[in-house]
Chain A
Amino acid sequence: MLYRDGDPIADTRAPQGPLETRWERRRFSSRLVNPANRRKLTVAVVGTGLAGGSAAATLGELGYNVLSFCYQDSPRRAHSIAAQGGINAAKNYAGDGDSVHRLFHDTIKGGDFRSRESNVHRLAEVSTSIIDQCVAQGVPFAREYGGLLDTRSFGGAQVSRTFYARGQTGQQLLLGAYQALARQIHAGTVRSHPRTEMLDLVISDGRARGVVVRDLVTGEITTHLADAVVLATGGYGNVFHLSTNAKGCNTTAIWRAHKRGALFANPCYTQIHPTCIPVSGDHQSKLTLMSESLRNDGRVWVPLQAGDGRAASQIPEAERDYYLERMYPSFGNLVPRDIASRAAKAVCDAGRGVGPGGLGVYLDFADAISRLGRDAVAARYGNLFEMYQRITDEDPYQVPMRIYPAVHYTMGGLWVDYDLRSTIPGLFVIGEANFSDHGANRLGASALMQGLADGYFVLPAVIGDYLADGPFDAVDANAVDEAEDGVREMIDTLLSIDGDRTAESFHRELGRLMWDLCGMERSEEGLRKALELIPSLREEFWRRVKVTGTGSELNQALEKAGRVADFLELAELMCVDALHRTESCGGHFRVESQTPEGDARRDDERFSYVAAWEFTGVGEPPVLHREELSFEAVRPTVRSYK
């Protein structure tokens, strides 16, 4: 048995009535906590990326007593920092017809009609405030000579609504949040715990009441109690081993919360980014993204003939296939990510790929350089070109870049309602760690928007309604002991196996398996095979893993092993989810469900729902709770970018 059916999710707590006024009404209906009482309430925020950093800072500004945790040595290093391209906002500063409704519409469509209208509309509304907030903080967005903000276009949109800071937008936004956080640390409202990893959630009297953490320097296991816990720990793309995520990104916090009862929604929705630097060998430790913004000016092509071994410059124009422009004339090179990725895979599978192993397509700037001049291209993409040259030893001003899709983002995550509450009372989940706003595919420049929307504006506005019932009763000491004992036991077990394989080698094997069988294309046969292989790999891990050192010191091998152990469990749920969803939608492409032209075929009759999974035990069939999606403002159609 793959899974069991459970009760549907009846209530998402979204306000009723006209879509446009729901958020306003929620802000009014949400109870407030008076300033004197906020001091008595503690909120633990795990993760310091755009969502966690901005949430901790804002809750601190409001006067709550905030505990902030991150595994990095400084909150400034969370992986949001690596986001390159930009952040969407419905400012319509370009005067090109943008509006809140259009951003809402593009995001619903981009997500292939698998996200909630209420949430997405709120995101579009809040987007404009984010830009105001960041500018006030001193985020140095790109500007025009008149002193006003510049914007550019991103995939899946026909307007120019993406604000950016060269190719380092994530860095600049994160430093804005980090500085706001630093101000609160200085003011004493936030206590910062860097190099600290959350390893379990404490639940007392049915409520999330704290986190069990390991001090990564001393190895000490401690519990931090709180009145509410916020997880902002990012996505789980590293289940594929090779991804554009940072090496440390992991699923541990959300997975262990899932094991404590939080439902995990749409785990199979993963985003494969079309423009990454191809793999160069077995030693590869991570993949590097080349920003989607490059598709504004770069043209994607492959040779017309399979097996054409000539250098790019030797291939005449007539023998090139600009396949995105050919297949999708109205969006051209700016089709959404899922479509661009699959098209790249299709041409490579047809033997027309370029570079080592034929796993690459060209992204060519020759036209842009002759049209705009080298300097203008350098001003837009200079740092990206430099990064590319450093890694590949090739000069993209002279020869086209070679790119190939890579895992980049996970749309799935812990299930949350309209108020960002998970199914465990008192546990809130924000940013990439939740599933809420991107449906089956996220549009470019929308992750930064969602992270900051949740952290600066949404969570601070809704958390009060929960905390108004606090401070809560004393935490059951047994609950703390039980959670801490579990954590210590797992660490002791990992250290005692003393096998003959490193955690890294298991991670690599799991990643390859997931990429092959649960990656860009999924089939029933492949997924069933994965569901046989994963449990046996997990069994082997617990028999053969070798972790050196002890638990009471800085031990990076131990950190890694714990994270891989969780990935080995999550991978199975991803495959179950992918297998049960026999339709194709967004980033989830089932070979059995495609049009004669090879496009994704959705099945709204059967699958217009969020799949929220309940944990029942490792290797046990999970229970499926369906949240039906209904569309009032946008009618689901076949997503066409032709």
Chain B
Amino acid sequence: MKYRVRVWRQAGPTAPGRLVEYEIDDVTADMSFLEMLDVLNERLQLAGEDPVAFDHDCREGICGACGVMIDGVAHGPGKATTTCQLHMRQFDPADPIVVEPWRAAPFPVVRDLVVDRSALDRVIESGGYISTRAGAAPDAHALPVPKLDADTAFEAAACIGCGACVAACPNGSSMLFTAAKATHLGVLPQGQPERYTRARNMVEAQDDLGFGGCTLTGECTAVCPKGIPLTAIARLNRDVLSDAMRSA
């Protein structure tokens, strides 16, 4: 099959960017979307042109490295999926595929489809952990955790930090990302001592980093590859509010 793709090319953070159209032959239905880009890049290199830069690593949907806007949708067509898990059978060869980087003020473009998402690391560094030291832990069975709480924590902890929620949000908010971490740690008994300060610190950090405010449009959860629910945000808001009332 032959596909046409329009890819965002931008040589560097301050260089102007533009969409460039390429035709790619010999695409098979079993090929993944990134393998299609591999084919394009192989051809570009042999022609002496710079290949399209894009982030990717595990190619099985868990590392969170990959992520592009495909026809205006973060991670493209398909529910609860990452870019690397798309296959060409999901695309109609009749239509050109438009591929662009994440666009959000705190995610500056590094090159082509690669953006700098280190702001998400700063959010976690501001409090997204339980303060414990290696070697200091009590026996794992000393503190039973109700299964439902453990399951809720797991579902939130499944966040892969890809940034699709930010890219999809009209406000460029990282609220779903932050809420996932606040939920993961906030429902576990081990996470209670720091629960409210954690929520406050992470929300303050994301504000300082230039992420937008959350207006609960729900675009984030619609594109989240791990299906982090919007209720996580409600939980975070409640913790932030509780914190404000406690310190008032």
Contact = CB atoms under 8 A, between A and B. Distances in A.
Given A73-B116, A129-B137, A180-B132, 20 more contacts: A57-B134, A58-B134, A74-B161, A76-B121, A134-B140, A138-B184, A179-B128, A180-B129, A183-B131, A186-B127, A247-B57, A283-B35, A285-B35, A391-B85, A500-B46, A504-B38, A504-B42, A547-B45, A557-B45, A557-B51
A377 interface: no
B111 A136 contact: no
B137 A133 contact: yes
A77 B63 contact: yes
A138 B130 CA distance: 7
A455 B126 CA distance: 23
Given A168-B158, A171-B158, A281-B31, A138 B62 contact: no
Interface string A470-501: 00000000000000000000000000000010
B135 A129 contact: yes
Interface residues of B, number: 79
Contact of B63 (A57, A82, A142): A82
A136 B65 contact: no
B49 A548 contact: yes
B150 interface: yes
Contacts of A168: 62, 158
A247 B35 CA distance: 12
B2 interface: no
A61 B131 CA distance: 10
B91 interface: no
Given A129-B135, A148-B141, A186-B126, A246 B147 contact: no
Contact of B62 (A74, A81, A165, A280): A81
Interface residues of A, number: 80
A284 B35 contact: yes
Contacts of A93: 141
* Residue picked from A183, A289, A387, A553, most chain B C-beta under 10 Å: A183
Contacts of B53: 554, 556
Given A247-B57, A248-B57, A556-B53, A548 B48 contact: yes
B89 interface: yes
Give me the 10 closest cross-chain CB pairs, A-B, nearest first.
A147-B144, A179-B129, A136-B137, A140-B154, A132-B137, A140-B153, A135-B140, A246-B57, A280-B30, A456-B134
B25 interface: no
A144 B147 contact: yes
Contact of A140 (B30, B45, B60, B157): B157
A182 B129 contact: yes
B235 to A, nearest CB: 15
A288 B161 contact: no
* Residue picked from A58, A148, A281, A554, most chain B C-beta under 10 Å: A554
Interface stretch (B166-174, B185-193, B210-218): B185-193
A54 B135 CA distance: 12
Contacts of A58: 133-134
Contacts of A145: 147
Nearest to B61: A387
A304 to B, nearest CB: 29
Interface in B84-118: 85, 87, 89, 110-111, 114, 116-118
17 contacts: A91-B140, A131-B140, A137-B190, A140-B153, A140-B154, A140-B184, A140-B188, A142-B150, A166-B154, A172-B157, A179-B128, A183-B125, A194-B118, A246-B57, A283-B28, A390-B85, A549-B50
B205 to A, nearest CB: 10
B57 A79 contact: yes
A7 interface: no
Contacts of B160: 171
B124 to A, nearest CB: 5
A82 B58 contact: yes
A13 B157 CA distance: 41
A505 interface: yes
A523 interface: no
Interface of A: 54, 57-58, 61, 72-77, 79, 81-82, 91, 93, 129, 131-138, 140-149, 165-166, 168, 171-172, 175, 178-180, 182-183, 185-186, 192, 194, 217, 246-248, 280-281, 283-286, 288-289, 387, 390-391, 393, 456-457, 460, 500, 502, 504-505, 546-549, 553-554, 556-557
A149 B35 CA distance: 40
B32 interface: yes
Contacts of B132: 133, 136-137, 180
A615 to B, nearest CB: 29
A137 B130 contact: yes
A183 to B, nearest CB: 5
B46 A136 contact: no
A135 B137 CA distance: 8
Contacts of B55: 73
B81 interface: yes
Given A72-B57, A186-B126, A143 B28 contact: no
B64 interface: yes
A217 B58 CA distance: 20
B87 A391 contact: yes
B123 to A, nearest CB: 9
A147 B141 CA distance: 9
